[in-house]
Amino acid sequence: MAVVETRDLTKVFKEGQLGAVNNVNLETREGEFLVFLGPSGSGKTTLLRMIAGLETPTSGEILIGGQVVNDLSPRERRIAMVFQSYALYPHLSVYKNIAFPLKAQNVKKELHKAKVEWAASLLGIGALLDRKPRELSGGERQRVALARAIVREPAVFLLDEPLSNLDAKLRASAREELERFHRRVGTTTIYVTHDQVEAMAMGDRVMVLNKGVVRQLGTPTDVYDNPADTFVATFLGSPPMNLAEIGDVIVGFRPEHFRPAFTVTGDAAPFRLKVENIEYLGSEWIVSGTLAGGKLDGKKVFSRLSSAQNLQLAGMYDFAVPQRELKFFDRSTEKRVEPRSVSWQ
């Protein structure tokens, strides 16, 4: 039985407007870390808030543990939510912050101490219980928010961009900590982010949303290597997949699949590139420019190369992309289609 299930879940905020969430069908797997990924306004938060019971669906059903919960309050849903802001109570100690949901749920007072200490030790904040939130670092505050979420042993965690307030360095370590925490606790988790790196790194599965519609649900490898459509293809990857229209298909090739032509054997798409910009990123180079000759003459593309030391601005170089790395999309539906052979000349 899925921990969380949605059936044709829809939210229209104003009649006559497009839905913020449209007919979403979803089944989580026991213990998985599922990420909702999409650009700003794609409906991720609205979907999460409906599951949490903070937003009323326009139509459709939400099930938690096999039970329809549409009419249950957030408190009755066995969920715990951690927000971007953490929403800790500033005047309460860490201990009291963590114990707060127990109090709200009328858990017997004599059980509080053991539960708070268990949650705090899981997150390595046992030594901070007497402090106030203002005396904590951003990462420590996040841990307190998580401890407060797990203390009542929910069936599911709902996390809405919990790392977005942290600086880049802290974000990376907080991300790792969250992954470790999830492995240890094993609670089914839904995590909202617009950051593709976070989604790829953390998700067992990633659900890509755009305009309230699910574009693809799959493992990180699935969505990256086999994008269902051109939206997913270009939303994931930095720089994004190059797309070029050839006849009735759109051909896609990722920047990292460009190779110097002389190194490629077997079937490959040939690309003559006029180099217009070179960025050195330490471990790799991003080289962009326009294609010259053939059907894609004048097309702007990005490549990612392990070395670009021999390339010069305005120089012309022959590259190739192995045939097996090309993706094909239908020009009108923009959905992925079977590979086919195309003529580049």
Interatomic CA distance for residues 313 and 274, integer angstroms: 8
Count CB neighbours of 76 within 10 A: 11
Per-residue interface string for the shown chain with ligand ATP, residues 124-153, x marking contact by CB under 6 A: ------------------------------
The stretches of the chain forming alpha helices (DSSP H) are: 44-52, 94-104, 109-122, 138-150, 168-185, 196-202, 220-225, 230-235
Interface with ligand ATP includes 22 (CB under 6 A)?
no
Interface with ligand ATP includes 43 (CB under 6 A)?
yes
Interface with ligand ATP includes 215 (CB under 6 A)?
no
Which 221-240 residues touch ligand ATP, going by CB under 6 A? none
Interface with ligand ATP includes 203 (CB under 6 A)?
no
At its nearest, how many Å lie between ligand ATP and the CB of residue 204? 21
At its nearest, how many Å lie between ligand ATP and the CB of residue 18? 8
Interface with ligand ATP includes 40 (CB under 6 A)?
yes
Q: Under a CB-based contact definition with an 8 Å cutoff, are residues 118 and 98 in contact?
A: no
The DSSP code sequence of 236-279 is STTTTPEEEEETTEEEEE-GGG-EEGGG--SSEEEEEEEEEEEE
Interface with ligand ATP includes 38 (CB under 6 A)?
yes
Name which of 13 and 89 has its Cβ closer to ligand ATP: 13
Q: Under a CB-based contact definition with an 8 Å cutoff, are residues 36 and 89 in contact?
A: no
Q: Which of 194, 215, 257, 336 binds ligand ATP (CB under 6 A)?
A: 194
Omega into 239 within 30° of 0, i.e. cis?
A: yes
Q: Which of 3, 9, 20, 52 binds ligand ATP (CB under 6 A)?
A: 20
Interatomic CA distance for residues 146 and 204, integer angstroms: 20
Q: Which of 28, 46, 189, 216 binds ligand ATP (CB under 6 A)?
A: 46
Residues that bind ligand ATP (CB under 6 A): 13, 20, 38, 40-46, 194
